[in-house]
Amino acid sequence: MNKTVDILLTNIGQLLLMEKLDSPKKGNEMQQLSYLENAALGITGNEISFIGTIEEAKEIKTNYLIDCEGKIVSPGLVDPHTHVVFGGSREHELALKQQGVPYLEILKQGGGILSTVRATREISEEDLYKKAKFHLDRMLSYGITTVEGKSGYGLDKETELKQLRVLKKLNQRHEMDIVSTFLGAHAIPANYKENPDAFLDEMLAMLPQIKEENLATYVDIFCETGVFTVEQSKRFMLAAKDAGFDVKIHADEIDSLGGTELAGEVKAISAEHLVGASDRGIKALAEAGTIAVLLPGTTFYLGKEKYARARTMIEEGVAVTISTDFNPGSCVTENIQMIMSLAALKLKMTPEEIWNAVTINAAHAIGKEDEAGYLALGGNADVVIWDAPNYKYIPYHYGVNHANTVIKNGKVVFE
């Protein structure tokens, strides 16, 4: 063999091998994780062109050799739920939280999401772009190479479109692959306080334009006390499906309203948060094949004791993924590795389940399973080199960045 590759990674302690699968890993399948020890990996263009042992790699020529002694290599991580495009910040709310003011009370008083809405309406499109880019750069540095981003801080046509256009431009120009979700139904703006259904109609009226301009793949809604009811969410999700969108739902995050059951009933691609999901709701997800997107960083940041029941979900055969939920109010971090630690400590997920969650299952939750979340010959060269002796080490050593080098589409984007 006399092969040449553009980049050769060798002396890899563990190379996580993840196949491209037609469906996410459900229940016990999440426990399967294959890896090759003392491995090497070659990249040609934007593809993985070689996977083998260190011995086999000795025959391969390259101008760019990376010695991965003492390190592991994984596919680029996928973050399937973020609110990365927003104006302003909300550090002033931390003191309210310390005084024990609940998240939904802050929102009720016109703060919370509505405070970010004001800031997002005010900021120019150019500055909004720069701000989101800053956060995406940071995500990339933590090993995330594909991300979902939601609108939802406009709550009016102009600003929702501004957010979606920023996401689209970033997807075209930034190294990160971005999947956009229209979350116009994120809160009820003050001028519609007495008439949330009319507000939902206004948001639904935007769907043809969003489709035509290819501004979003998914439509999402926040089903919660003081926001949208299960009935309103159902009408909204069904109308979005009629308009040709797959749907997502923020369900049972704080109060147990039954959004999880609804997600199963309307066959949502994913249901997010699920902290208060009932047994019936969990069964509905398993039956419908709806992916559970769990956000333990949010539960942590909201200071709650009770976390989503990941173990029950996995036992019931649900496909589980985890995500940062990065946003300026309920989870202010771009660090998905920290979320992996919380998944271990608070959701009691095993390291194998966690790695499947942040790769293959996350990719399925945002329709990116053909391009992201796996590592195999011929696949996209989205690869992370980690300063870790083995894959169990990352959730174990928490709060810091273990990413040593991040390669996106065959290009080193962080080192």
Please, which residue, 10 or 151, has the CB nearer to ligand NIG? Answer: 151
Give the C-alpha separation, 153 to 151, whole Å. Answer: 6
- Residues 85-114 touching ligand NIG, rule: CB under 6 A, are 112-113
Contact 318, 289 (CB under 8 A): no
Please, which residue, 177 or 325, has the CB nearer to ligand NIG? Answer: 325
Q: What percent helix, strand, coil does the chain show, rounded to 5? A: 35, 25, 40
- Residues 220-239 touching ligand NIG, rule: CB under 6 A, are 222
Closest Cα to residue 379, out of 2, 42, 31, 59?
42
Give the C-alpha separation, 250 to 104, whole Å. Answer: 14
Cα of 398 vs its chain's centroid, Å: 19
Please, what is the end-to-end C-alpha distance for the chain in angstroms? Answer: 30
Contact 27, 289 (CB under 8 A): no
Q: Measured at CB, which residue is nearest to Fe ion?
A: 325
Please, which residue, 250 or 346, has the CB nearer to ligand NIG? Answer: 250
Give the C-alpha separation, 246 to 217, whole Å. Answer: 7
Q: Measured at CB, which residue is nearest to ligand NIG?
A: 329
Give the C-alpha separation, 359 to 364, whole Å. Answer: 9
Regarding 165 and contact with ligand NIG (CB under 6 A), the answer is: no
Please, which residue, 160 or 382, has the CB nearer to Fe ion? Answer: 160
DSSP 31: G
List C-alpha distances in Å: 294 to 150, 319, 320, 336, 362.
Answer: 16, 11, 7, 12, 10
Nearest approach, Cβ of residue 248 and ligand NIG (Å): 11
Q: Which does 24 bind (CB under 5 to 8 A by kind): Fe ion, ligand NIG, none?
A: none
**Interface map 317-346 toward Fe ion (x if CB under 5 A):** --------x---------------------
**Does 81 count as an annotated binding residue?**
yes
189-198 contacts, C-beta under 8 A, 24 or more apart: 189/114, 189/117, 189/155, 189/156, 190/110, 190/114, 196/228, 196/232, 197/232
> For the chain, how many residues are written?
415
Total interface residues for ligand NIG by CB under 6 A: 13
Nearest approach, Cβ of residue 396 and ligand NIG (Å): 26
Please, which residue, 252 or 325, has the CB nearer to Fe ion? Answer: 325
Binding-site member from 234, 250, 283, 364 for ligand NIG (CB under 6 A): 250
Binding-site member from 71, 83, 162, 309 for ligand NIG (CB under 6 A): 83
Regarding 325 and contact with ligand NIG (CB under 6 A), the answer is: yes
**Does 103 count as an annotated binding residue?**
no
Q: Six-digit token pair at 400?
A: 């810091």
**Does 160 count as an annotated binding residue?**
no
**Interface map 55-94 toward Fe ion (x if CB under 5 A):** ----------------------------------------
**Interface map 112-141 toward ligand NIG (x if CB under 6 A):** xx--x-------------------------
Residues forming the site for ligand NIG (CB under 6 A): 83, 112-113, 116, 222, 250, 253, 298, 325, 327-330
Binding residues for Zn(2+): 81, 83, 250, 325
Residues forming the site for Fe ion (CB under 5 A): 325
Binding residues for Fe(3+): 81, 83, 250, 325
